[in-house]
Amino acid sequence: MARKKHAEEHENLERWLVSYADFMTLLFATFVVLYALAQSDVNAFKGIEEALRRAFSQNIFDNQTSIMSGQDSILDGQAGATNPLMLEYMSQKYEQSSYEDIKEDVERLKKEGLSAEIDDRGLIIRMNEHAIKYSAGTADLTKESYLVLDMLAGIIKKRFAIHYIDVEGHSDSDAIKTAKFPSNWELSSARASSVIRYLIKNHDFNPKIFSAVGLADTVPIAKNDTVQNKAKNRRVEIIILRNKLKNLSKKDMQEILKEAKLHQKKSAIGAKVPSQAIEGLVGDDREMLKNVIDMSEQYKNENKRINSLDDETYLHDGEKPSFME
């Protein structure tokens, strides 16, 4: 009796569909995230990012770990984190929201001689001669100006690390003619530059984001007909330019972004992070936590110093103490 022939197994020619579908899923998720960056506010974006991460944590075809899980975030290389640098670089909503927040912060410092407004160029922070003081006829910042610049630096840097910033110097119409400053053009330029130098030196801003501009008395905000109006025109303005204008500059924004990311990583590595055990003991007393961290550093340094000493240093009557054995 003849044996029945087994049916030949056919090769599955549709296996490529699994990889293709996985790729298309990832591509879709990527564009949804990019769209969220451009269209939504920060809180909404965080919600979308988390929803996407949960949705694609499992492969919908074969129940295996997704190609998205366990990988670095497409935003900043840290899973589950939203990098403010990428939001700053890409999201107009983030930019506008930050402008408005900074404007509110600056308006609270009105008594210090500060004001702010938002226009097509970006956010303009205006410092009158009460806020930014110079010795008469010079570009030398006085100590009274440092406090104002310190406050402004903290407000700006928290939200904008890679935006281009123009610093404009303005003067009144009274002519100046000295060996160092033949006209108000040189004086206003030097005063703008002095602000930039201070921000770079004391607050670690990237020098590549700045431009210094001297406009003399050509852009007054009041008529130069009274002492009070002339005082209004003697000012320095910090303009945080909109990112849509970044292509107008000859400076390389991609290079600035790369340097900012590198600086961010170095800062994270260098940060002193207490253990959970220490935080549990200290609780909400942050001042005590600083002391604990400082003492830990001193302990490490002292330990290194002791280990570097010769064993003979510890000899007493020719013998080592028991704890050295």
CB 302 within 8 A of CB 315: no
Strands 235-241 and 165-170, by their bridges, are antiparallel
CA-derived radius of gyration, the chain: 30
Close Cβ partners of 25 (under 8 Å, ≥ 6 residues apart)? 56, 60
Match 């400082």 to its residue by tokens: 294
Half-sphere exposure of 177 (CA within 13 A, CB side): 1
Predicted TM-score of the model (pTM): 0.60
Close Cβ partners of 60 (under 8 Å, ≥ 6 residues apart)? 25
CB 84 within 8 A of CB 101: no
Closest CA to 173 of 130, 133, 216, 228: 216
Token pair of 58 as six digits: 């499992």
Closest CA to 163 of 206, 209, 195, 212: 209
List the chain pLDDT tens, one digit each, 325 residues.
Answer: 556 655 566 666 677 777 888 888 888 888 887 776 666 555 665 665 566 555 555 444 444 444 444 444 444 444 344 567 777 877 888 899 999 999 999 999 999 999 999 999 999 999 998 899 888 888 999 988 999 999 999 999 989 988 999 999 999 999 998 999 999 999 999 999 999 999 999 999 999 999 999 999 999 999 999 999 999 999 999 999 998 887 777 777 778 878 877 877 776 655 555 555 556 655 555 555 555 555 555 556 666 666 665 555 545 555 555 545 5
Axis-axis angle for helices 16-39, 42-55 (nearest 10)? 170
Closest CA to 101 of 41, 44, 148: 41
